[in-house]
Amino acid sequence: MRNTRIDRYEDTPRDVVATGNEFPPHFVLPSHSHRRGQFLYAATGVVTVITNAGSWVIPPRRALWIPAGVSHEVHMSGPVSTRSAYVQREAAEAAGLSTRCQVIAVSPLLHELLMEAVDLPAEYELDGRDGRVMALLLDEIRRMPELALSTPLPHERRLASLCRQLIDAPSLEVSIDSMAKRAGMSRRNFTRLFRAQTGMSFINWRQQACLLAALTRLGSGESITQVALDLGYGNPSAFTAAFRRVLGAPPSRYLSFDH
């Protein structure tokens, strides 16, 4: 399957079009947007998507819904194979798809529909089998549950800059007091503003940033021990326990295809 540019199909007279791409390790797609909403599926590999509102990590066999018009950059942590369904804005609204980015589970049926969809002609027959495949694809996207795999960014400029730095180099050792000092705020003002703008305490946000960074590194083949120690966990057991508590499964199972 060849890599496909979506701009070839932005104006295709179909509610849903699908493409597939293969990317080398550490490939980055610079910030861009689409006139259609994008359902970005990581068939293999781990993908990180960053917008002004936050960052999202897509482990293998999960997907990210990106509404139309949202500027986003895409980072591949290793060799990555993606399948994407692009949905016209009106069709996304009619289907009740979210107006914000969210990581979504992918059922075995949705996986197979995506695999099939990328091989259909761009202007498939609406009233035939191909049209029914695409309609079912949209129905299946709509019913998939959201996964807690995002790290929101605050709106305040100083906080957003500090949080981007911490997402790039996360560590449990970064304290509230050090963040408040770097932001030029009192501890009380920092914690209050941080929660108001992210919906999370800084401690929970820091842990989320660490765990999502861990997902990316583990997906690239790094060891649990090395990742745990680098992020500031006392030992691999403490890291695994935190991972299971927040994400619902240990790292090895979470990155497997049968999760």
- Which residues, 6 or more positions from 103, have their beta carbon under 8 angstroms from its beta carbon? 56, 57, 58, 62, 63, 64, 146, 147, 148, 149, 150
| Residues 208-247: tens digit of each pLDDT | 999 999 999 998 889 999 999 999 999 999 999 999 998 8
Is the pLDDT reported for residue 5 higher than 70?
A: no
Tell me the CATH architecture of domain 6-147.
Sandwich (2.60)
Determine the pLDDT at residue 257: 54
Per-domain residue ranges of the chain: 6-147, 152-254
Is the pLDDT reported for residue 30 higher than 80?
A: yes
SS3 (DSSP) at 122: coil
Is the pLDDT reported for residue 6 higher than 80?
A: no
| Residues 118-163: tens digit of each pLDDT | 999 999 999 999 999 999 999 999 999 999 899 999 999 999 999 9
- Which of the residue ranges 7-21, 62-76, 100-114, 204-218 would you say has the lowest mean pLDDT? 7-21
Superfamily covering domain 152-254:
Homeodomain-like (1.10.10.60)
Per residue, what are the HEC states of 36-61? CEEEEEEEECCEEEEECCEEEEECCC
Q: What is the rounded distance in angstroms from the CA atom of residue 136 to the CA atom of residue 82? A: 20
- Whether 259 contacts 249, CB under 8 Å: yes
- Which of the residue ranges 62-76, 77-91, 102-116, 244-258 would you say has the lowest mean pLDDT? 244-258
Q: What is the rounded distance in angstroms from the CA atom of residue 10 to the CA atom of residue 31? A: 17
Q: What is the rounded distance in angstroms from the CA atom of residue 206 to the CA atom of residue 209? A: 5
Q: What are phi and psi of 138, to 5 degrees?
A: -65, -40
Percent of the chain with pLDDT over 70: 96
For residues 174-195, give the mean pLDDT.
Answer: 96
Determine the pLDDT at residue 66: 98
- Whether 146 contacts 103, CB under 8 Å: yes
Instruction: Provide the whole-model pTM.
Output: 0.89
